[in-house]
Structure 1
Amino acid sequence: GAPLQGGLYVCANTWEPYVEEAAHRLGTHGALTLLTTTDLRRGDTQEPAELARRLWPLQEIADRYHRLSRIAQPRLARLTGPAELSPSVLLTIAVELAAELTRAIEPDPLLPPQLLPRPWPGTQARKLIAQCWAALHERDQGEARPTLFRLYTDITRETADQATH
């Protein structure tokens, strides 16, 4: 969410179940106040895409996705190429991809497409990562990737599924 003022945050996605679950886990649910609205203005700005530009650092997030694409493209070429890749090379690629995906996605509020600039570089970057992860899985059948990377497999599978629907 984006902070509006003193403990008041706005999110373009339904996040109440996650916020409530966290509040329960932290023992602060009794102090939690939730409000939903479809009417938000900041100053004279009320157009949703413009509000998103003002509330979230979209250019910084876009730059991170551009970097992710630049890193993923040559790795995808290696993973889909004919050369044999050792387990240590596959693990190195997996770590590099996981680190870059984390760097790109951590600040991303995952706004709905209608609130994002077009074309949104996150769409292409996540698609590339999904292709890399699929090629990595084909190459090593999960042998070189620790259990930790299952999370990334799930993320990239969801991204690939969303891109096809």
Structure 2
Amino acid sequence: MEPWDGVWHAFAFAVPESARAARDALRDALTGLGAAAVQGGLYVTPNAIGPYVRARAAELGLPEALTCLSTRDLAVGAATDPPALAARLWPLPEIAARYEALHALARSGAGAAEGPVAGPAQAVALAAAFSAAMVPDPLLPPELLPRPWAGATARAAAAAAWDRLAAGAPAGGPRLFRLYGEALA
């Protein structure tokens, strides 16, 4: 993975109440892509998601309502240090707690080498914990995350557990193994 280039990508929009559904959908797209709200109608992320945001704004009929910009100079209140900004804008402790739960599950009966023979219940539990951890994760660059970051170790443990689960599945395995196997790879 390449180091973060230090660029923050910001997105601002002003959509009237009469287009509330479109405004909410644009907000959902931004947060779904990992952007964080700085304040009403202003979102920021260290990831270059501009093409996706502009495409979604166009789909919603809001291309003229969206402003996109990039900067290396971001201050939110008194916070200017990139890791401090990340800690202020994203719920990193909650995300880390989900990863810690995934890590614990991956090391337990859900595929642990010393655990019981893996079955569909363990696969479903591991897939659910993986989704619960990944969905709210904005996938910030390592430079912005606390060290050590629970996500890195949890994803590695989950990938190893998943490999053990898949190895015990019948040839071809259920679709669940293919879907999450690709995601964990």
- The normalised TM-score by structure 1 is 0.80
Report whether the alignment pairs 1:72 with 2:106: yes
Determine which structure has the larger strand proportion and give its number. Answer: 2
Deviation at 1:62, TM superposition (A): 0.8
3-state SS of the aligned residue for 2:71? coil
* Separation of aligned partners in 2, 1:108 and 1:83: 30
Deviation at 1:43, TM superposition (A): 1.9
Report whether the alignment pairs 1:57 with 2:87: no
How many percent identity over aligned positions?
46
- For the aligned residues, what is the CA RMSD? 2.0
Q: How many residues align?
A: 149
Change (3 A) 1:7 1:82: closer
C-alpha offsets along residues 60-114 of structure 1, whole Å, 9 cap, x if unaligned?
111111111111111222xx459655xxx2x222211111111111211111111
Unaligned runs of 5+ in 1: 158-165
C-alpha offsets along residues 108-136 of structure 1, whole Å, 9 cap, x if unaligned?
11111111111111100000111122222
3-state SS of the aligned residue for 2:68? coil
Report whether the alignment pairs 1:35 with 2:69: yes
Structure with the larger RCO, 1 or 2 (CA within 8 Å, 6+ apart): 1
Determine which structure has the larger helix proportion and give its number. Answer: 1
Amino acid at match of 2:161: C
Matches within 5 A, 1:15-164: 15-74=49-108, 75-77=110-112, 80=113, 85=118, 89=119, 91-140=120-169, 141-143=171-173, 145-146=174-175, 148-157=176-185
- The normalised TM-score by structure 2 is 0.72
Unaligned runs of 5+ in 2: 1-34
